[in-house]
């Protein structure tokens, strides 16, 4: 199994090392053989090769069995997102990573971090499914001196495949899909709703509800335990999936997966490269480590290995080993070692 790692910038290299240390520790327990190929991506790749996604990085990801990405960007690159149209967005498009999956869960040991009252976050456990290779992200962009234009395109097929992913996930969980659109204004949303209703016919065991994006942006916070699988288009998904991280109250414990129809999936923390604490050895590696667990489960069918990691993370948190962002004093390496010990 070839795993390509894109450590990126800021705290990226540190947390990637932590994730790989945990992988190395769990692998013998589950007889998992793998090789690692580290490649430059993002700001680091601009520094090294003048381009955020060098050809050999792209080629390596294309022949990988799975990809781990840590984080990219930093103030020295003069753009928080490191030329996304040549970097992150180009990578998503080239690999066809159309389905971005973000589980939202509250860790018992971290409940106090949520800005929300305890009774609101009680029982929160949902997944945000975001369409990742279509919509206004990839339509024509025109910037003139006095006018600008973006085009939002969706095809039936693009909508259908992401809605199916949402229904498939819901079938294995709470059997409810909330499809989010702005159907009272956008043509793409009208099509979205038509397709969602059509796909729903193939899943009589799963309930479909529609929500307008403005209304959902409220309900996700006021009634978060109502949701099981939330599915939406690229731009709404960008906003709502970031908004959902408000519930656990920390970006530090949320992994994500991005899947293609064929080819490797990519796993990454939802947080950024935190340049202000880069190199200090105090970054929180949990999102990265849980991304490794997602990879084991979703790319390699290693459910036992994934469960080992997830349990070890829970136990480490319950044991009070917390990095600074979580209100504790553990260093990155102390936390990583504690997780490995709990495996």
Report if residue 117 touches its own copies, rule: CB under 8 A. Answer: yes
Minimum CB separation from ligand IPM for residue 244, in Å?
A: 12
The interface with ligand IPM within residues 182-201 (CB under 6 A) comprises: 184-185
* Contact yes or no for 93/138 (Cβ under 8 A): yes
Which span sits near its own copies by CB under 8 A: 91-99, 198-206, 210-218, 321-329? 210-218
Minimum CB separation from ligand IPM for residue 184, in Å?
A: 5
Report if residue 145 touches its own copies, rule: CB under 8 A. Answer: yes
* 273 in a labelled binding site: yes
Please report, for residues 14, 88, 113, 216, 267, the alpha-carbon distance to residue 239 in angstroms, rounded to integers and kept in the order given: 27, 17, 21, 11, 19
Active site residue 242: yes
Active site residue 137: yes
Number of residues that bind ligand IPM (CB under 6 A): 8
Task: State the catalytic residue, choosing from 47, 197, 214, 341.
Answer: 214
Task: Check the CA dihedral 67-68-74-80 and report its sign.
Answer: positive
Q: Which of 122, 150, 214, 276 binds ligand IPM (CB under 6 A)?
A: 214
Q: Which of 50, 108, 172, 184 binds its own copies (CB under 8 A)?
A: 184
Report if residue 89 touches its own copies, rule: CB under 8 A. Answer: yes
* Contact yes or no for 12/330 (Cβ under 8 A): no
Active site residue 214: yes
> In sequence order, what are the residues at sequence separation of 6 or more whose Cβ sits closer than 8 angstroms to the Cβ of residue 283?
11, 14, 15, 274, 277, 323, 332
- Pure H helices in 248-331: 286-300, 303-318
Minimum CB separation from ligand IPM for residue 10, in Å?
A: 14
* 276 in a labelled binding site: yes
Report if residue 239 touches its own copies, rule: CB under 8 A. Answer: yes
**Cα-only R_g, the chain:** 20
Q: In what order do the strands lie in the sheet with 99-105?
A: 35-39, 2-8, 66-71, 265-269, 255-259, 99-105, 125-131, 229-232, 176-181, 207-212
Active site residue 182: yes
> In sequence order, what are the residues at sequence separation of 6 or more whose Cβ sits closer than 8 angstroms to the Cβ of residue 15?
70, 71, 269, 283, 284, 285, 287, 288, 332
Q: Which of 16, 22, 240, 289 binds its own copies (CB under 8 A)?
A: 240
* 280 in a labelled binding site: yes
Which one, of 160, 218, 224, lies nearest residue 193 by Cα? 160
Structure tokens at 166: 């949402």
Binding site partner of 285, from ligand IPM, its own copies, none, Cβ cut-off 5-8 A by kind: none
Residue 78 and residue 166: Cα distance in Å, rounded? Answer: 36
Please report, for residues 5, 291, 295, the alpha-carbon distance to residue 25 in angstroms, rounded to integers and kept in the order given: 17, 15, 15
The interface with ligand IPM within residues 38-97 (CB under 6 A) comprises: 81, 84, 88-89
**Per-residue x/- marks for ligand IPM, 222-241, CB under 6 A?**
----------------x---
Task: State the catalytic residue, choosing from 77, 137, 154, 267.
Answer: 137
> In sequence order, what are the residues at sequence separation of 6 or more whose Cβ sits closer than 8 angstroms to the Cβ of residue 166?
129, 177, 179, 229, 231
Structure tokens at 247: 């519930």
Three-state DSSP state, 36: strand
Active site positions, annotated = 137, 182, 214, 238, 242
- Interacting residues toward ligand IPM by CB under 6 A: 81, 84, 88-89, 184-185, 214, 238
Residue numbering of the annotated binding site for Mg(2+): 214, 238, 242
- Interacting residues toward its own copies by CB under 8 A: 79-81, 84-85, 89, 115-117, 120, 136-137, 139, 141-143, 145-157, 182, 184-188, 190-192, 212-215, 217-218, 221-222, 235-236, 238-243, 245-246, 249
Residue numbering of the annotated binding site for NAD(+): 272-284
């Amino acid at each position: 199994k070839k795993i390509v790692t894109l450590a990126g910038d800021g705290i990226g290299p540190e947390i990637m090392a932590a994730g790989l240390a945990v992988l190395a520790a769990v692998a013998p327990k589950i007889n998992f053989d793998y090789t690692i190929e580290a490649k430059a991506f993002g700001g680091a790749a601009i520094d090294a090769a003048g381009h955020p996604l060098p050809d050999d990085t792209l080629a390596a990801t294309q022949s990988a069995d799975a990809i781990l990405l840590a984080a990219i960007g930093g103030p020295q690159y003069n753009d928080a997102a490191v030329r996304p149209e040549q970097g992150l967005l180009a990578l998503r498009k080239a690999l066809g990573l159309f389905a971005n999956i973000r589980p939202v869960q509250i860790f018992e040991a971290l409940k106090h971090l949520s800005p929300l009252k305890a009774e609101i976050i009680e029982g929160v456990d949902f997944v945000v499914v975001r369409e990742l290779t279509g919509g206004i992200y990839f339509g024509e962009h025109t910037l003139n001196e006095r006018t600008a234009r973006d085009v939002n395109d969706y095809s039936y097929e693009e909508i259908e495949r992401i809605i199916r992913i949402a229904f498939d996930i819901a079938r294995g969980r709470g059997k409810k899909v909330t499809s989010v659109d702005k159907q009272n204004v956008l043509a793409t949303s009208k099509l979205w709703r038509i397709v969602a209703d059509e796909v729903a016919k193939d899943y009589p065991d799963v309930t479909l509800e529609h929500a307008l994006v403005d209304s959902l942006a409220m309900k996700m916070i006021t009634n978060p335990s109502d949701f099981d699988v939330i599915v939406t288009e690229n731009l709404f998904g960008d906003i709502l999936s970031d908004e959902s991280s408000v519930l656990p109250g920390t970006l530090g414990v949320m992994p994500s997966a991005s899947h293609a129809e064929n080819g490797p999936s990519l796993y990454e923390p939802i947080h950024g490269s935190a340049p202000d604490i880069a190199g200090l050895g105090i970054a929180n590696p949990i999102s990265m480590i849980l991304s490794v667990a997602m990879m084991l489960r979703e790319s390699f069918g290693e459910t036992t290995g994934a469960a080992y990691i997830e349990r070890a993370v829970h136990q480490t948190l319950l044991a009070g080993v917390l990095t600074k962002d979580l209100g504790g004093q553990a260093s990155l390496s102390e936390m990583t070692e504690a997780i490995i010990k709990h495996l």
